[in-house]
Chains A and B, each alone.
Chain A
Amino acid sequence: MKIKILLGVSTVLMLVALYMVFIFAPETESGVVQRIFYFHIPLAWIAFLAFFVVFVASIMYLWKRDIKWDAFASSSAEVGLVFTTLFLLTGSIWAKPEWGVWWTWDSRLTSSLILWLIYIAYFIIRSYISEEGQRARFSSVIGIIGFIDVPIVVITIFLWRTAHPRIEAMDPRVTATLMVSIATFTALYFLLFALRLAMKQDEDKLNRLKAFLRR
């Protein structure tokens, strides 16, 4: 039920967002490629939101020791990782026409890359541990440490690379489009998160059943 509502909301928002991004928002001098900005910024925001959910769910797991919190954390981390990957890709696509290279060690891209590596490590470590409780404990610790590291990474890299494109005063149409894009991606995040969580819960039920039958 929840999933159906989320699906409906995301679909409607997605259509509105597409209209606003490609037709409503004014073109800048960089041309059509600039419109990737309406995907790029929301992706960063969602990645951050997703990793914040991982952080909170990790704390909850260590506190309550309920495996449900581990499912929350890992589902959100998966979605967050996908969005970070997309953020890096869109950043790269934007960088090519803008600066003539696919990758620059721009502060935002660099900090996202480090973030991406932290959560890649999160999943690599998960794959190394077979015992469920231990996997949950260890990934919770990484989920907490990783998120605490985020602001430190960002501050350091901004200190390190002070030159980066700043967002100038924006056209109200641009602001409106950006807001709608962010709302759309937030809905999409919750949809993907809910789907992944439902899948994890089914997996978990199946495992319990298996363990019961084996006994």
Chain B
Amino acid sequence: MQNDQLALAQTRGSVDPRVKRPLPAWVSTTALLLPTYGWLTIAIFLPLLTMLAFSFMSATPMGKTPVEFTLKQYRAFIDQPYLLRIGFNSLMMGFWTTLFCAILGFLAAVALVRATVGKTRETLLVLILLPFWTNGLVRVFSWTMVLRENGFLDNILHMVVPDAGSISILYTRYAVVLGLVHGYLPYMILTCYIALVTIDDAIIEAAASLGARWWTILYKILIPMAAPGLISGAVLIFIPVIGSFMEPRILGGRVGVTMGTVIEDQFTQAFNWPLGASLSFTLLAVVLAIFATFSGVLRGRTAG
């Protein structure tokens, strides 16, 4: 009975004159893909190419000054040595942020996997990841409330020690790193958690019952298992951190001068777009080099 209907439907399908001959598959595939990639071309790829072109110009092509082809924008690091120091500071800011995130995040992932189960674990994961998807600017702003002179931290301190001075660290590099760690820690917890959640409890119990101490378990089992998570977390944190500009601006004040803020200045204050473009491309080169180095690990993550 069913088969009859199926056969009927099939014949109807092929005979029915209203049914047009199907278009070749590549036509519909192209039609499905074109809007997305057309949009990305206008919004991402053409802008990056234009910026590359601008980085070889001698001046912003807006006024009357003639614009020539030049490589001088890329010599900025030699011509203006202070840029080297700023670049180094940015890398250090990325290094410390990534390191603190790695230590705190790895331990949090271990605690999640080993000390929680079921609903509690799910709730904790949601709570940890929730701030990550809220406005980063607002979270940085809230640190100024905590760190400022006579702010939350000072008040807590004065409750304990009434006549102590201020321990405000606002407008220091510590504040910048603290704000960045706060912003990116959930990333590291997530990548480490994904790597560790596959560990079979039996392995750790077996190790423990065979007399392994906790540090042996840590170095021989947990860290090697978490390594892909640690690496991809580190890459995904280091890259946005070295390009950050609002965190150093708001929490660092005068000492918060980084590659990010220098680039921002070229576009919003100094109006030197070619220099901004060449600095942006130098930063992009660093980013791409990092991705190329770790692409194997990152691909393993997305495939698994």
A and B together in one complex:
no
Residues of A near any B CB (own CB < 8 A): none
